[in-house]
Structure formats: structure tokens, C-alpha cells
Chain A
Amino acid sequence: METTQNMKRPILDVEGLDVKFYLRDGTLNAVRDISFALFPGESLGVVGESGCGKSVTFLSVMRLIPVPPGKIQAATLRFDGTDILKLSEKEMQRIRGNRISMVFQDPMTSLNPVLTIGKQMREVIKLHMKLKDTALEDRCIELLSKVGISEPQMRLRSYPHQLSGGLRQRVMIAIALSCNPTILLADEPTTALDVTIQDQILRLIKSLARDLGAATVLITHNFGAVAGTTDRIMVMYAGKIVETATTPELFKNPLHPYTKGLLKSIPRVDKETQEKLFSIAGAPPDLMRELVKGCAFIARCPIRDDSCYHHLPPFSEKKQGHYVSCWKVF
């Protein structure tokens, strides 16, 4: 998996993205001034625990965040050169499902239970591509076959509840890829599935995206899921990006104390059982309270000191392509 990102222009260029939610009980700072880029055809893994802002980031790119109570601000938020924040809702609708599409976590609720699979697929294709009747039908059958569903004609007439979780997720992927998107966002696509199916789905997403030349963003909390299917990984914590590196580099040489701690605390099947699992003390911070001026990880960091408390560490390149946000990493 080569990454010639230095030469290419990013398909998604984000700078200074900040997303807040103004709620009755206070302001939730879900995403705090982050910057990153996604290059055409690459597969980016976004890893973090609940509340880190990984889902909100990409929902903001799709402008699926309800505004109000949300508020999206960014210095730059460009998709293929177009400023997302300046688009009208109608223009945005032409992009969603068409050029940027999303697969969600729970296939039970992302499909409408009272419509057949065929109807839901056709709805999306008709919206963005001008296909009708037999051409439309053929396209649906072609897509279902591509995602590995047998007897596609029969499945088109089925209802979601007649399919298993794994099959439903395949249908979701088919719908997401139906209009040949440039970016495919997958938000915890396998968390609700059995482990024997998880693997198949992840590999399916990887191969289909590669065939289409689409960039993929795999959002998850599971390091195992990203290890085999991504080119680069971005680790998020408390609304900020703490580390970014190519996949092999991140696992071989994690630099940020959070990444290191997290990787150490995961029980492994491929290794001898340890006596006691390493664990990071404390819990992720509550983003509604006043945040410290400095690094949000200080409460749990084993190597913190005063400068960490007072100043937000810059997100800087420590090695070739390996960025970290930590004062104590050199």
C-alpha cells in the first residue's frame, strides 16, 4: 500500500475544524480545532474511544450535524476543491450519497424496515444517476453481486428484517457505493456484527473501495480492525488528534502516551497471557466542563509536567509522516 501523499492534492482538506453543541446544560466541545487531509484512494483509519469526536468530525464533513444546536466552524473544509461550508443544502444533497457516502454502525436501524431492499437501493440511485427501469434494476443486481450477496433478484424483493446483520451491512455498503463515490465513510461498520462476519465486511470494503479508486475512512475504536485494512491511522482523544502515522509505523513505534497506553492495554490472542493488563488510569474527560488550557490527556498521562498543563501541545511532525501532539515527545 504505497502512499504518495506528498505529491497528490488531498481530496479532503480540513483545517481548524471546530464543532460545538449548544445544549441546555452547557456547551459541548466535540471537536476542537483539528486539521488533517485525506488523499485520493487512500484508506484512513480514525481510532478513538467514545466521546473523542471521531464520528462528529466526519458527520460535519457531510454536514449531517443538526445546526442548531451544533455549530461547525473551520478555516478550511474543502472537498475536491469545493468549500463545503459555503454550499447550500440542496448542493450538499447532491454530494451526499453520490460523491461522499457513509455506512453506519447499526444495520438494523439504518435501513427502513417497511421498504424492500430494492426500493431503498433504487431510491438512492435514482436520486443521483439518471437510470430507469431495466438499467436501474441491472445496476442494483450488479451491486448486490459485487458485495457478495447470492440470489440478488430475490434479495431485492426482501425486507430488511429477513436478512441477517451481515447481509444488511452488505446492502448498506452496496447502497453507499452505488453512485461511485470519491470518499466512503464507514462509522463503526462492524461493531454490531459477529467476529466471523466482521473480517469479511472489512475486507469487502477494502477491496471494493480499491476497485473504485475511492478513499475510505474507517472510524472505529478497535485497533485490530484498522491494523489490516488501512494505510494511515489517526488517533483522536477528547476532540483533538493526538497522533497520525502510517499504519505499520503507528503500531511499531507509537509515540503519544495515549496511543502507547491504549495499545498496551488491549488483551492479545497472539501473545502469551500477561499476569495483569496494563491500564490507563482515569476516564476520558467530560467535554462539557471547562477544559484545561493545555493537553486534555494530563489527568491520565504518566509523563506529564507543568508545561503540559498550561500550553496546548502543537501537532507536529516528529518523523517522516508521523505527527504527534505532545510536549514530551522528541
Chain B
Amino acid sequence: MQTGNHKLLQVKDLKVYFPINLSVLGKGKKLFIKAVDGVSFDLETGETLGLVGESGCGKSTTARGVLQLYRPTSGQVFFQGKDLCLEKGDALRRMRQSMQMIFQDPYASLDPRMTVKEIIGEPMKVHRVPEKKKERLERVLELMQLVGLNPTDVHRYPHEFSGGQRQRIGVARSLAVRPEFIVCDEPVSALDVSIQAQVINLLEELREKFNLTYLFISHDLSVVKHISHRVAVMYLGIMVELAEKNELFSKPLHPYTQALLSSIPVPDPVFETRRTSIALEGEIPSPIFPPPGCRFHPRCRRKENICSESIPAWKEVAPGHFTACHLV
């Protein structure tokens, strides 16, 4: 990993709340879905941070908050020396050249009425990089080859491609204006197993080639383990653990991480029959009313009194290994 200790991205106490309107005229109690409730992490150049968690944990919202696709309620996101949360309008738009996103659904993330040329060319057109139309077409063709698509298909429409190919189009689009940082939001979850490997390999090749930094979001821990350098686990809007990948998978500290890792199905019948997963009691609480103290305590098997009374601090328990739990 070519890092050189340069911090590309610094996220400090990011919060993304969505208001729920309970009344027509604005009176009455204002409630919020606290989708992301205080997340902090750094990313070094060339690194891939895997962000895992189950549905509703806020991982996608975090990524979109970082990219300012949802404007955060509070917090700071330092990128290229500026706080993105304070940038607006044209200045923010210009910064988007350096930060891009690959979406999950290959069927919904491409405008069905645009050709591949227009889709991949759109970022270039918006930022006028390269200036000339002919150069842009050349670059589109170059990108198509890079991601493994046949350049002669450049005038086709998305529905003429398979799911895996459409995802490649999405990857090509994200590379069009040479970004430094790419958010991959579940990029392979909607693909067939035999195609997933192809796209994962592609993402890794591109990472090496262009020294890209990825924020890789997935609920599939096997994929995350393969592609990431470090892994962060989220639950109900906060980060519960962050560590270097092998460290996290071999020595998970937070009870939620332990439960999560214990339930991953492995294609090995001997392993499977012996595996006992840690069952989580109860249901995921509502993000409007998170439990007091440690959010996870109602479902934790090892909870103690202090867990419902005070919020555990985010501590570095071992070198590079962070977690928020009273019992660690």
C-alpha cells in the first residue's frame, strides 16, 4: 500500500439527521432519524477503508454525507485542505472532480436514455476536462478499454448490457475526471457471484494503477476482507470498531463485531456444522430513539449496568485498533 502517511480525508464527528415532519405548519415536536450520529475516521492516500454494518447502520449515509450528497447536519470533512461541509455551489462542484462514487444498483445508476458515451462523458462535460469534444471521445474509449468493455459499444444504451457490464460502465464513469478518492457503495452486491470476482479484481487493478483511495461499503464481510486495508464496523449510526483488517477479523473486540463475524456463512460444510453464531437478542432499535448509553447494550449478551448509563468512549485499545465499549 503506497501511503506515505498523507491524510487524504479527515472526517470529524459527522452527523446526518433527517427530519420527520409531524405537523403541516411546522409546529409540534421535531423528530429526527439519526442516520449518522457522530462518526470520525481518517483515510490515507492509497488506502482502502472497508465500512461494514447491517441495514440501517448508516454506512451508505455516511459515505453520501462525506461526499456532500446529503448535506451533513454537523461535523467536518477535510479534503484537499478544505472543509467540504462549508463549501457550496461552484466551489463544491469543482471539488467533485477529485471525489467520485460507484453505485450499487447497475440498473438504476445509469440513465436509461443516455448512451454509454454520454454517461461516461458526462463528468468530463460538466468539468470541461478535456476541453475538446474529440479528446473527450478518445478518453471515453480509453476508459471503456480500461474497464474491460468493448469500445465499439460506445453508442449503445444501458439496457443492452448485462449487469456486470453496466457496473463497469459505472466504474468507467467514476474514473473519467481522474479522481483521487472514490466511494464504492456496495459495488458488487447486486452482481452474480461469478461476476463479483471480476469486478473486484478490476477495482483492485485500478487502485494499483492510479493510486486510488477507496471507501468501500459493503454488508458482505468476505468481500470487504479481501479488498480493504482497514475495516470499520458501524451500528445504528455510530462506529463501534476500527482496525487493520487482519487484526479485526482475528481479534474482534466489540461484542457486535464478534456477533457479526460469527454469523458469516462460509462455503465449507465442516466449518459450518461446527460454527456457532452469537445470537443477538431483540431487534434493531429505531434510529429516532437510540438507546441511552451504549447503543448496542439492549442486544448485548455481556451488558452491565454501566452500559445503559454512559456512552462508551472511542479509545485506541491496541495500536491502530479502536473501539467504543465499556467492557474492553
Contacts and interface: CB of A to CB of B under 8 A. Distances in A.
Contacts of A3: none
Contacts of A194: 54-55, 219
Nearest to A47: B193
Given A284-B192, A284-B194, A227 B264 contact: no
Contacts of A196: 54, 259-260, 263, 277, 280
A105 interface: no
A207 interface: no
Interface stretch (A18-26, A138-146, A218-226): A218-226
A114 interface: no
Contacts of B273: 228
A49 interface: yes
A329 interface: no
Contact of A276 (B192, B204, B225, B269): B204
Given A164-B284, A283-B162, A273 B225 contact: yes
Contacts of A12: none
A213 interface: no
A106 B164 CA distance: 23
A247 B268 CA distance: 9
A283 B164 CA distance: 8
A228 B268 CA distance: 8
Nearest to A266: B267
Given A227-B272, A261-B194, A283-B164, A195 B263 contact: yes
A50 B267 contact: no
Contacts of A228: 265, 269, 272-273, 275
Interface string A43-59: 00000011000000000
Interface stretch (B86-94, B106-114, B195-203): B195-203
A198 B264 CA distance: 9
B269 A195 contact: no
Contacts of A263: 267
Contacts of B225: 267, 269, 273
B159 interface: no
B270 interface: yes
B221 interface: yes
A277 B267 contact: no
Contacts of A165: 55
Contacts of B271: 227, 270
B196 to A, nearest CB: 8
B266 interface: yes
Contact of B194 (A167, A195, A265): A265
A266 B222 CA distance: 8
Among A222, A263, A279, A281, the one with the most B-chain Cβ atoms within 10 Å of its Cβ is A279
Among B197, B260, B273, B283, the one with the most A-chain Cβ atoms within 10 Å of its Cβ is B197
B249 interface: yes
B193 A251 contact: no
A31 B270 CA distance: 32
Contacts of A85: none
B189 to A, nearest CB: 10
Contacts of B259: 196
B200 A277 contact: yes
A268 interface: yes
A225 B268 CA distance: 10
Contacts of A202: 265
Contacts of A251: 267-269
A36 interface: no
Among B54, B201, B265, the one with the most A-chain Cβ atoms within 10 Å of its Cβ is B265
Contact of B283 (A164, A223, A229, A268): A164
B168 to A, nearest CB: 11
Contacts of A198: 263, 265
A65 interface: no
B276 to A, nearest CB: 10
A280 interface: yes
Interface in B143-182: 162-165
A262 interface: yes
B208 to A, nearest CB: 11
Interface in A163-220: 164-167, 194-196, 198-200, 202
Interface string B277-314: 10110011000000000000000000000000000000
A11 B115 CA distance: 51
Given A221-B192, A247-B269, A279 B201 contact: yes
A262 to B, nearest CB: 6
30 contacts: A164-B283, A194-B54, A195-B260, A195-B264, A195-B265, A196-B260, A202-B265, A221-B192, A222-B265, A227-B266, A228-B269, A228-B272, A228-B273, A248-B270, A251-B268, A261-B194, A265-B194, A265-B196, A267-B197, A267-B222, A268-B266, A269-B222, A269-B266, A273-B245, A273-B246, A276-B204, A277-B197, A277-B226, A278-B197, A279-B197
Q: Across chains A and B, which 6 residue pairs bring their CB atoms closest together, nearest first?
A: A224-B265, A228-B272, A279-B197, A223-B267, A194-B54, A265-B197
Given A195-B260, A268-B267, A274-B226, 12 more contacts: A196-B54, A200-B277, A202-B265, A221-B192, A222-B193, A222-B265, A227-B268, A251-B267, A269-B225, A269-B264, A273-B226, A284-B192
